[in-house]
Structure 1
């Protein structure tokens, strides 16, 4: 059965996007990273928040536009409160977290459902649906923006390290979410 994986590139001070959702800060840190390069083959579906889906792609307008530098092709589920009247082809828009997770898991088979978007990942965590987190830490301090996880007043979430690897421009920390 599919596992729910939240993967993101993060600045050393904990941000995945600059203020306003700008993700162009990542460009200097793209480069050889075997952990991140190999993850795409292990993903069976994406679960994406609406803001991330409509957000700032650092590769927009290039051959690398899209999830995972354009390497992703497959079922994509967008979690939103505003389902468009004319959805994009090949994209499934859903307004219920548990239904979206169930549909994404079914589509993923025995591979990962990769979550894109901090709010969607937090919702999965809060609902007890998040299994693993893979963070690619880039050596930069952004100072402000969208945090990897923000849970004001939230409790601690215990993680167990699965692996620690290094790419040319970043460090990858892969963890398992422990039961509460």
Structure 2
């Protein structure tokens, strides 16, 4: 059965972007590794928030260059007027009825493969709804001081985790956790 995994890269002080909304500084040290490549190969669908989707200046570019060539489910209140380009592997569905619906649709599309959730707001919704099976956090070697916190707005949600593995590269540390469902 498909697992639902929230995957993010953070600064050491917990931010997913800088004070101007940029993420470039976080990805300066990103190094693909075997675990990330295996996780990507086992991804059957992706769920992301509209802000994450809009990071691409050209929505049609997802069909051409997006690293996950799998069905994409975008959480939004307003789908775009023009539907972005798709291909045989990457379809785009704009989901307007919440994280539960997006995860259900993504699991159906993924089959036996995993569902990856990207984006701070989508991740917070996922954790609040208790729909995450795993959490994969990569820590970039930078302290940003300001920006958007991944774990902001979770003050009423205590989440217990069990470490599955740690991967250390020359520049960063990644920690994979199982979310303990109570």
TM-score by length of 2: 0.86
Shift of 1:32: 4.3
Asked whether the equivalents of residues 32 and 167 of structure 1 are also in contact (C-alpha less than 8 Å), the reply is no
Equivalent residue for 1:104, pick from 100, 103, 106: 106
Q: Can you list the C-alpha shifts for 1:96-152, whole angstroms capped at 9, x where unaligned?
A: 222211110011111111001111111111111111100111111111111121125
Tell me how far apart the structure 1 counterparts of residues 14 and 154 of structure 2 sit (CA, whole Å).
15
Aligned length: 173
Tell me how far apart the structure 2 counterparts of residues 84 and 155 of structure 1 sit (CA, whole Å).
32
Cα 1:127–1:32 change in 2 (3 A) is closer
Equivalent residue for 2:80, pick from 80, 84, 99: 84
TM-score by length of 1: 0.87
Shift of 1:153: 3.0
Asked whether the equivalents of residues 161 and 177 of structure 2 are also in contact (C-alpha less than 8 Å), the reply is yes
Which aligned pairs between 1:45-64 and structure 2 lie closer than 5 A? 45-55=45-55
SS of equivalent residue, structure 1 residue 29: coil
Which aligned pairs between 1:61-140 and structure 2 lie closer than 5 A? 70-89=66-85, 90-96=91-97, 97-140=99-142
RMSD of Structure 2 on Structure 1 (CA): 2.1
Asked whether the equivalents of residues 16 and 23 of structure 2 are also in contact (C-alpha less than 8 Å), the reply is yes
Q: Which runs of 4+ in 1 moved over 6 A?
A: none
Cα 1:48–1:146 change in 2 (3 A) is same
1:166 has 2:162 as partner:
no
Asked whether the equivalents of residues 46 and 68 of structure 2 are also in contact (C-alpha less than 8 Å), the reply is no
